[in-house]
Amino acid sequence: MKDYKKNILVPDIILLFGWAFVLLLPPFRYRIYACLNMSLSVPSEIIISIGFYLCVFSLLLFHTKLTKDSESIKMTCVVAFIALIFARFTSWSIGHGIENRIFYDRMEVSNGMVYTSYVIQYNANGGRVGPHAYVILSNRNRSTKKIHGKFSKGNTVLVSFPELPNEFEPYHYSIYDTECYEENPNDMQIEYCRNGVKMSNKIRKLKNTPTNEELTEFILRKKNHTIKVISAIVVKNSKNFIYFDVPQSDELLFAEKRSNSYSEQQKVLIAYDVDKIQAFYVCNSSPSDEEYEQYKTPTGLPLPPEYHIEAIKIGRK
């Protein structure tokens, strides 16, 4: 009696594992890819899928042999075929939902990128998916992405998404949704994100660039403001603008019209208004290593007497 129960129990366990693989592994395989920082390519997906279904079929067939029920072989083939169809046509959509609804924010922190893009097609009547547009990224690969919302053809927008390794190479793809990061970016944001930059709150700070009048007011009446000095690095000296990043801060990024007097990775000291961050000027373009380290704090230090100036005019758009 015990041997009989044992013979029945072992095949049932094998069958249980087989169905567990069929139902759980396909939709969660994208989570495994993400944890391993692997790229998703069409050829590898096909190979993995075929190998996976062969393993499941073998388990089910092995179960029928252990039970010595020859009549169940046909049933096993039918069940395996149904499982294959079920897993193949639902795992992508289920996996897509799992990653975008549960793990999207986590992937955005580790792999989030922001790109300048241009709306090339807009569908006002998108059916069940709602209004959406297709945009082309301004990076060298000129990739196309789909975003949801109302847009006008020809508009420039910033989009964000978790970028997977080798995503822009042929035969690779991403299951993560693309979102509109900034619907009406200014010129500084557009140029900064042209080739893609790491997603951060710093990009949105460029939106609050002061006018020439506001900047002059800040400089001339600086005693009425809370001004701090902070260490920064020139990260881009692009066609129209120059960008000063503060690596030790999650919030601070400065930009002004392009100047030929700076080179990329150059260390500088920035004096900025705490209440209006984009009201700033370079108070020292060549600080010593000691000075740079002194002001290398997340928010900077109070403006010292040696960096006080009467007035300065920096033209900015």
Q: What is the mean pLDDT of residues 19-32?
A: 73
Q: How far is residue 49's CA from residue 41's CA, in Å, rounded to a whole number?
A: 12
Q: Is 138 strand, coil or helix?
A: coil
Confidence category of residue 190, pLDDT binned at 50, 70, 90: very high
Which one of 52-66, 182-196, 234-248, 258-272 scores highest in mean pLDDT? 182-196
pLDDT for the residue 28: 80
Please determine, for residue 237, whether its predicted confidence score (pLDDT) is greater than 90: no
pLDDT for the residue 57: 67
What is the pTM for the complete model shown? Answer: 0.80
Q: At what angle do helices 42-67 and 2-35 cross, to 10 degrees?
A: 170
Q: Is 308 strand, coil or helix?
A: coil
Q: Is 204 strand, coil or helix?
A: helix
* Residue 195 near residue 139, CB atoms below 8 Å: yes
Please determine, for residue 259, whether its predicted confidence score (pLDDT) is greater than 90: no
Please determine, for residue 154, whether its predicted confidence score (pLDDT) is greater than 60: yes
Please determine, for residue 35, whether its predicted confidence score (pLDDT) is greater than 70: yes
Please determine, for residue 163, whether its predicted confidence score (pLDDT) is greater than 80: yes
Q: Is 127 strand, coil or helix?
A: helix
Residue 136 bridge partners (DSSP): 118, 144
For the stretch 299-312, pLDDT in tens is: 998 888 776 653 34
* Residue 157 near residue 138, CB atoms below 8 Å: no
| Tokens encoding 223 | 């005693």
Q: What is the mean pLDDT of residues 56-81?
A: 62
Confidence category of residue 252, pLDDT binned at 50, 70, 90: very high
pLDDT for the residue 173: 83
Please determine, for residue 209, whether its predicted confidence score (pLDDT) is greater than 60: yes
Q: How far is residue 162's CA from residue 41's CA, in Å, rounded to a whole number?
A: 16
Please determine, for residue 236, whether its predicted confidence score (pLDDT) is greater than 90: no
Please determine, for residue 46, whether its predicted confidence score (pLDDT) is greater than 70: yes
Q: Distance of CA 168 to CAs 55, 107, 112, 143, 173, Å?
A: 32, 17, 15, 7, 7
Q: How far is residue 224's CA from residue 276's CA, in Å, rounded to a whole number?
A: 12
User: For all residues of the chain together, what is the average pLDDT?
Assistant: 79
